[in-house]
Structure 1
Amino acid sequence: MRSTMQDFPLTVRSIVAHGVSVHGDHGARTVIAPGQVSRATYAEIGARAARLAGALRRLGIVGDQRVATFQWSNQQHLEAYAAVPAMGAVLHTLNIRLAAEQVAYIANHAEDQVIIVDDSLIPLLAGALPKIDSVHTVLVNGDGDAFALEDAGKQILRYEEVLAAEPEEFDWPAVDERDAASMCYTSGTTGNPKGVVYSHRSLWLHSQAACTAQGFSINADDTILTIVPMFHANAWGLPYAALMSGANLLLPGPFLQAQTPVGTIDQERPTVSGAVPTIWNDILNHLRNNPGPDLSSLRLVLCGGSAVPRSLMEAFDKEFGVRILHAWGMTETSPLAAIARPPAGLDEEEMMRFRVTQGRPIAGVDLRIVDDNGIELPADGKSIGELEVRGPWVTGGYYRDDDPEKFHDGWLRTGDIGRVDPLHYVTLTDRTKDVIKSGGEWISSVELENTIIGHPDVLQAAVIGVPDERWQERPLAVVVLRDGASVTAEELRTWLTGRVAKWWLPENWSFVDAVPLTATGKYDKKVLRRQHADQLLTVQTI
């Protein structure tokens, strides 16, 4: 027996059309200077998206050709989010924090045809553009000097000029919901970055999941400050979730240093925001040194990308009354997969035990842990294994890259090591490549890092394994102290005693000005390992 329901396609176009028509008076604000924003309604953005689609069609974008963005989080980037998938093409958000060689590799691999670039990013794109064979046209957003792009042999046009030449209507094609809508590349911490291609259906379902009460709980009364960049895993799905729910968007542009987001929160009063822990740690440090701004409008702060230290959650709870919600996912999972909403009816200490986990899976995502032989382990809160996930917005492969070792019986192997408790809360203890094996026993670099960061004098802490003649590996703690702090390695080790297992206590310490970060804001441990191997780190052994 078949259902009587209409077969209505789940497409990006339907998300955008809903936002433009039903919530057309809501919209997006873009920070164009500290304390200053530009404003556009969703109805206005929809009309400009139609102009952009017409311009791209006139430039030869047909079928599923790729249109890349090299942009900050701003209104014009949102217009590309709306127009490119809806016209049947594929949106490719290039990571502006990658080196020129990586940008060129990714753009060639994706076979990008057109790149939309913000004028402030022209110097960064200029180093890569001559090496990108597939691109024939660059659209420059803004009036800045584009001279640096002119020797690359590409057609250089101004974004606003090409939009002005097109009508505010476009004949949107019928698109199969399983066709490609957008793509992102992984950060490439090992080997070349890999392309993840999202379908219209996967983006629609992911957006709906983000809007649910057990997801991000987004509704039309919200204003979302998307500190997480639009070139990073679809800004965690927040732009499409905003259009679906009618929430307003607050886009920070290039102004990501702590003082500007803090000022933006104080002035524009968003209710929801999201960023990686390093950003919220910087914001916390700024607020402690510059008290006064009001963060009380925030009902929810989403935090993910790496484990959120308990000390960070507690600081925002107690000092500012702002609740951080820990979420977990990957580029491969669109990215929302699990979220750490604690069970109801618990006191603060009991809730914290759940809040510091990576959460439990959102409806639509299955997860499990397996041993080295791929055998599923029990969700008993004790068994440790590799996390595997599957679901309608989880990738089943990589674009033009056959990597069967990343997949197992229809499950994505995440490379994360952890445990699952009987309530299905996931606690990740490490990455497979980062876990430290000392004397045959495992030390979690993540748990050790988060404990060290709990010391009031520590701003950042990254832990890597280094060779040891007796124990095979021992932890090296690489620490950044807060301004004015003078705590010693001996004092930190003493402070750790009783907070972690005795045999976890690092003998090796290095104090640095900053921990290197990946293009997505995570600790770049491969750089730290290389620095240690090349004797570029000053290490104290106690």
Structure 2
Amino acid sequence: MMDYPLLLKSILYRTYTIFPEKEIVSRTADGIFRYTYRDLHHRVCQLANALDQLGIETGVKVGSFAWNHYRHLELYYAVPCSQRVLHTINIRLFRDQLIHVINHAEDEYIFVDEDLIPTMEDIQDELPTVKAFIVMTDKDHLPQTKLRGALEYESLLKGQSTQYEFPDFSEQETAILGYTSATTGMPKGVEYSHRGLFLHCLTNLAGWIGTDESDVVMPVVPMFHVNAWCRPYTDAWAGAKQVYPGVRPTPQDLVELMHHERVTMSFGVPTVWMGVLGVLRANPNKYDMSSIRFLISGGSALPSSLAQTFEEEFGIMVYQGYGQTETSPVTFSGYPKKAERELTGSEKYRYRAKTGLLLPCLEMRLVDEMGNDVARDGKQMGELLLRGPWILGRYYKDEERSREAFLDGWFRTGDIATIDERGYLQVVDRTRDLIKSGGEWISSVDLENALMSHPAVSEAAVIAIPHEKWQERPLACVVKREGMEVSKEELLQYLSERVAKWWIPDDLVFISEIPKTSVGKFSKKTLRELFEAGQLIAAAN
């Protein structure tokens, strides 16, 4: 057979060859922008020609500092398909983290949204490798800016040829460089190869929740982090209509797009879907959600109560996905097998909250602290290890942390999980978030899900706090649902009917909001810091 490299340019080729008329929709400052896959291809070629004209050599890192929109999509193709590397920079990193990742990647050019110019202006003097910034704006001119060498995106494309001969090269070359969201230490770099992304996308094209050209897909998960779960490639390959929420979308914006564009599937973290649920509840009968086949929730555990509420009140199915920056990201999908789809009542939602089933092409192990495999009985817990064609091989320019990340060639996810006899994985906690009390493990995730099933609870996060006798005990941090009241005693009693007695937190505090990470997960690191500083309890009183 032919020695044919698995490159992202094959996806681009299919879009304009088979689906040239299909739409790509972006929310902009001026309203809704629409164009087709044919237009996408022409502009990607223009951008690739512009990169050549700028003198950007193969293998050079080109940064994007942007929201989800059609120009960012063009970067997703033009940069890697022309044999450069796209560094998607997380816009929510702290200042010192941004400086670190840009300098560590050695970006030479950065494409930046007009909305985000002030952030880059603030740090540009500490970015010695960056030669120029290209501003992406909906205006017809370059906005006033202090960015050095500033160019305007549309002017850069203007006059460039709409044809480009994308080269062949090794499928093992890096397409995208991403960094972790830095829950511990500085962000770590992960290189995504063309081959890895290519194979990862194939797994999303088939099966019960596979994407096809009749779908309308809206990725809320950010393009600046973990490849937007590979939706910019998967959906283009399928010929699906793509809908991008644009700059600083609110839950109201998301619901409006779902309603008007007839979205069939969307992807986001649980806090996004909590916001969407709030809009739907506040506007009964205003929005038609009948087009939605399902929503996928990832980034942190899906509360079974959230899935149940969406289905029972609005007929919307919510399933869970699982992955990490180091795994491109998706490795497990919570779609039910035929037997589980036929379940009813609480058993149905119990499976709906499962982390899911391993994707094709991957292998997994669950191991105890001694590295021995644990039983697949849904009870015994072990650290999840993975290997496969889109799993991290090493961290970028970080040999020490690379060595720590592997066990006998398997990637250590840092997540503690169980797997049942039907093959369903259930992540019970991160190794750093699992609570060890009196020599026994307590799952903070299970406690959080139980708390969030109470109608008066909007959000809940549980952390371990030191205990003289038991080593650690759980502390629950709870946000009340707006307009509702509930006492600490009521919630602890509620928990006593749902979890083991020795799991019940020693204390429960009410706070105004749960701090979030850069990608919308609950930041337990911040909660622990607040507790250690004595501010968490003070804030609750």
TM range (shorter): over 0.9
Q: Which residues in structure 2 correspond to 1:217-366 (within 5 Å)? A: 217-291=210-284, 292-345=286-339, 346-349=342-345, 350-366=347-363
Residue type of the alignment partner of 1:252: P
Equivalents in 2 of 1:145, 1:121: separation in Å? 14
Residue type of the alignment partner of 2:262: R
Give 1:444 deviation, angstroms.
Answer: 0.5
For residue 8 of structure 2, what is the aligned residue in structure 1? 12
Q: Is the 8 A contact 2:112 2:136 kept in 1?
A: yes
Equivalents in 1 of 2:99, 2:159: separation in Å? 30
> Aligned to 2:182, what secondary structure does the other structure show?
coil
Q: Which residues in structure 2 correspond to 1:160-239 (within 5 Å)? A: 160-213=154-207, 216-239=209-232
Residue type of the alignment partner of 2:226: A
For residue 18 of structure 2, what is the aligned residue in structure 1? 22
What CA deviation, in whole Å up to 9, does each residue of 1:483-506 have, x standing for no partner? 112211111111111111111111
Give 1:125 deviation, angstroms.
Answer: 2.1
- 1:59 aligned residue (40, 54, 61): 54
Instruction: State, as a whole percentage, how many aligned pairs show the same letter.
Output: 41
Give 1:377 deviation, angstroms.
Answer: 1.8
Residue type of the alignment partner of 1:354: Y
Equivalents in 1 of 2:472, 2:159: separation in Å? 63
Q: Is the 8 A contact 2:303 2:353 kept in 1?
A: yes
Residue type of the alignment partner of 1:23: F
For residue 437 of structure 2, what is the aligned residue in structure 1? 438
Give 1:145 deviation, angstroms.
Answer: 6.7
The reply to whether residue 527 of structure 1 matches residue 526 of structure 2 is yes
Q: Is the 8 A contact 2:464 2:475 kept in 1?
A: yes
Equivalents in 2 of 1:508, 1:146: separation in Å? 52
Give 1:507 deviation, angstroms.
Answer: 2.5
Residue type of the alignment partner of 2:370: N
What CA deviation, in whole Å up to 9, does each residue of 1:416-448 have, x standing for no partner? 001111222111111000011112211100000
For residue 155 of structure 1, what is the aligned residue in structure 2? 149
What CA deviation, in whole Å up to 9, does each residue of 1:270-291 have, x standing for no partner? 1110000011011112222222
Q: Which residues in structure 2 correspond to 1:412-427 (within 5 Å)? A: 412-427=411-426
> Aligned to 2:146, what secondary structure does the other structure show?
helix
> Aligned to 1:14, what secondary structure does the other structure show?
helix
Q: Which residues in structure 2 correspond to 1:501-540 (within 5 Å)? A: 501-538=500-537
> Aligned to 1:316, what secondary structure does the other structure show?
helix
For residue 130 of structure 1, what is the aligned residue in structure 2? 125
TM-score for both structures, normalised by structure 2: 0.96
The reply to whether residue 40 of structure 1 matches residue 53 of structure 2 is no
TM-score for both structures, normalised by structure 1: 0.96
What CA deviation, in whole Å up to 9, does each residue of 1:132-188 have, x standing for no partner? 1111011001138744433xxx31100110100311112322121111111110111
Give 1:539 deviation, angstroms.
Answer: 6.3
Aligned residues: 533
For residue 371 of structure 1, what is the aligned residue in structure 2? 368
What CA deviation, in whole Å up to 9, does each residue of 1:223-274 have, x standing for no partner? 1011111112111011100111101100000142111101111111111100
Equivalents in 2 of 1:33, 1:307: separation in Å? 33
Q: 382-391 or 340-349: which moved more?
A: 340-349
Q: 83-92 or 124-133: which moved more?
A: 124-133
For residue 464 of structure 1, what is the aligned residue in structure 2? 463
Q: Is the 8 A contact 1:339 1:358 kept in 2?
A: yes
Q: 1:540 to 1:83 in 2, by over 3 A?
A: closer
Residue type of the alignment partner of 2:275: D
Equivalents in 2 of 1:178, 1:464: separation in Å? 41
Q: Is the 8 A contact 2:255 2:276 kept in 1?
A: yes
Equivalents in 1 of 2:166, 2:392: separation in Å? 27
Equivalents in 1 of 2:217, 2:427: separation in Å? 28
Residue type of the alignment partner of 1:303: S
Unpaired runs of 5+ residues, structure 1, are none
Equivalents in 1 of 2:145, 2:438: separation in Å? 55
Residue type of the alignment partner of 2:287: P
Equivalents in 2 of 1:238, 1:191: separation in Å? 28
> Aligned to 1:372, what secondary structure does the other structure show?
coil
> Aligned to 1:325, what secondary structure does the other structure show?
strand
For residue 89 of structure 1, what is the aligned residue in structure 2? 84
> Aligned to 1:149, what secondary structure does the other structure show?
coil
Residue type of the alignment partner of 1:254: V
Q: Is the 8 A contact 1:458 1:482 kept in 2?
A: yes
Give 1:9 deviation, angstroms.
Answer: 1.3
Equivalents in 2 of 1:471, 1:55: separation in Å? 63
Equivalents in 2 of 1:410, 1:327: separation in Å? 24
What CA deviation, in whole Å up to 9, does each residue of 1:113-132 have, x standing for no partner? 11111111111222222211
Q: Is the 8 A contact 1:119 1:145 kept in 2?
A: no
Equivalents in 2 of 1:398, 1:149: separation in Å? 34
Residue type of the alignment partner of 1:29: V
Give 1:541 deviation, angstroms.
Answer: 11
For residue 453 of structure 1, what is the aligned residue in structure 2? 452
Residue type of the alignment partner of 1:171: E
Residue type of the alignment partner of 2:20: G
Residue type of the alignment partner of 2:273: W
Q: Is the 8 A contact 2:175 2:194 kept in 1?
A: yes
Q: 386-395 or 291-300: which moved more?
A: 291-300
Residue type of the alignment partner of 2:213: A
Equivalents in 2 of 1:344, 1:382: separation in Å? 23
The reply to whether residue 119 of structure 1 matches residue 118 of structure 2 is no
Q: Is the 8 A contact 2:304 2:350 kept in 1?
A: no
How much is the aligned-residue C-alpha RMSD, in angstroms? 1.6
Equivalents in 1 of 2:495, 2:396: separation in Å? 45
